[in-house]
Structure 1
Amino acid sequence: MIRPRWEWALDDDTGAPLTAPLSPAFTTQYDAEEWLGEHWRTLAETGAARARLLHDGAQATPTVELRKP
């Protein structure tokens, strides 16, 4: 059985993809979004400025800004 793969692609302030930190892979969009909601502050502190949710490699949602208020 093939399961859908959801993961976050993280970019820095210039739009360049980050190689670390990496997002785990998720089997549901809900789990992926919940993970980002719990970890976005830590990701922003480590250099991530934007997150793009990918579904089987294609962007599935609008880009999310990871800036602290």
Structure 2
Amino acid sequence: MTWYWRFLDPDGELMKDDDGGPAGRGVEFPTQSDAESWIGEHWRHLAESGVDSVILYEDERQVYGPMSLQPPE
């Protein structure tokens, strides 16, 4: 099983990487815990880079999300 995040822009659209594929798919994790630890460490940088929310996938199954990366108002 492979776990990965997909990134969404403020309009809820899937962000693309430089090759035109879904952004986030290049970083894969062996477990859900590893994926969640990674997002916990990188969410601020992602938000500053224009990522508004993320979706967690296990293989092709959406596990949860979209989950906002924006601080509460």
What is the TM-score when the length of structure 1 is the normalising length?
Answer: 0.86
Distance 2:59 2:46 in 1: 22
The list of structure 1 runs, each at least 4 consecutive aligned residues, that deviate by more than 6 angstroms after superposition, is none
Gaps of 5+ in 2: 18-22
User: Is residue 54 from structure 1 mapped to residue 51 from structure 2 by the alignment?
Assistant: no
Q: Which amino acid aligns with 2:68?
A: E
How many percent of aligned residue pairs carry the same amino acid? 38
Structure with more strand by fraction: 2
Q: Give the count of matched residue pairs.
A: 66
Q: 2:38 matched to which residue of 1?
A: 35
Task: Report the aligned-residue RMSD.
Answer: 1.4
Q: 1:22 matched to which residue of 2?
A: 24
Distance 1:8 1:40 in 2: 11
